[in-house]
A and B are shown apart, each in its own frame.
Chain A
C-alpha cells in the first residue's frame, strides 16, 4: 500500500464528576460518551486532510 499522508497521534484525557454506569460501579457508558467526542474531533481532521489530498 502507498502512504499518502500521516495525521500523527490523537490523544485526549477526560476528568469529571459523573454518575457511574447504571447497576455497575464502572465507566463503560462514560467511555462511550467520551469516544463520541473524541471521534467527532478526529473525523473533522480526517475530512480536512482528505480534502487536501
Chain B
C-alpha cells in the first residue's frame, strides 16, 4: 500500500511540475482607477528586453532544472525551463498591459504595436525569481521515515504536504523603464 501511495504521488507530482508555467494572474478583482478615464492616450508596451543572463544571481534560476542548495538547506526554484514556451519578456508585457487595461486609466493599452500608440513604454527585465524552502520533514514520509531525497523539489500531492508553510522568496526587478514616442 505504501508503495502505491508513493508511486501515485510521484506520477502526480511529475505531471504537475512538468506543466508549462506562466506569469499570468487574474485581473478580475483589480479595482478601476477612481479617476478614470483620466488619460485619453493609447499606450504601447514593448516586449521587455530580457537582460537576466547579464545580472548576477540569476544563473541558478536560468540553468538549474529544479532545486538549489544554500547553507545545507534545499530550496525549490522556479526554473526557467518551465517558462520557456513563450518568452518571459513578452509574457510580462502582456500581463502589464492586461493589468493597465483593467485599471481603465488609458484609452487603450497595446503590446508591440507602436504605430497605434501615443506613448511607448520600454524596460529591461533584470530579475523575476521565486524559490521555496523545502522543510526537512517533507523529505521524510511521515510514519515510515522513508527518505525521499531523490524526489526533492518535485513536491507531493497530499493534503499533509499542502498544509505546510515554508519560507518563500520572490524577487522582481525592472531597469531603465522609460517612455518614448514614435517621432
Give Cα distance in the complex from A46 to B99, angstroms: 12
Contact sample, A vs B, 19 pairs, CB 8 Å cutoff:
A4-B119, A6-B178, A6-B179, A7-B178, A9-B174, A11-B126, A18-B132, A23-B157, A24-B13, A25-B132, A26-B79, A26-B153, A28-B78, A30-B132, A32-B24, A34-B170, A35-B95, A38-B172, A39-B96
B residues sitting closer than 8 Å to A (CB atoms) are 12-13, 16-17, 21, 23-25, 30, 33, 38-39, 41, 43, 76-79, 82, 92, 95-96, 99-100, 103, 105-106, 114, 119-121, 126-132, 134, 138, 152-157, 161-183
Contacts of B169 in A (CB 8 A): 13-15, 27
Q: How many residues of chain A are within 8 Å of chain B by beta carbon?
A: 46
Q: Is the CB of A31 within 8 A of B126?
A: no
Contacts between the two chains (Cβ within 8 Å), count? 189
Give Cα distance in the complex from A4 to B76, angstroms: 41
| Extra inter-chain contacts (16) besides given A16-B168, A30-B132, A34-B170, CB under 8 Å | A2-B180, A3-B180, A9-B174, A12-B173, A16-B167, A24-B17, A25-B132, A27-B77, A27-B130, A36-B25, A42-B174, A43-B105, A46-B121, A46-B177, A47-B103, A51-B39
A residues sitting closer than 8 Å to B (CB atoms) are 1-28, 30-36, 38-40, 42-43, 46-47, 49-51, 53
Give Cα distance in the complex from A37 to B119, angstroms: 24
Give Cα distance in the complex from A30 to B134, angstroms: 15
Give Cα distance in the complex from A46 to B101, angstroms: 13
Q: Is the CB of A25 within 8 A of B134?
A: yes
Q: Which of B23, B76, B79 interacts with A20 by CB under 8 Å?
A: B76
Q: Is the CB of A23 within 8 A of B13?
A: yes
Give Cα distance in the complex from A19 to B168, angstroms: 8
Q: Is the CB of A27 within 8 A of B170?
A: yes
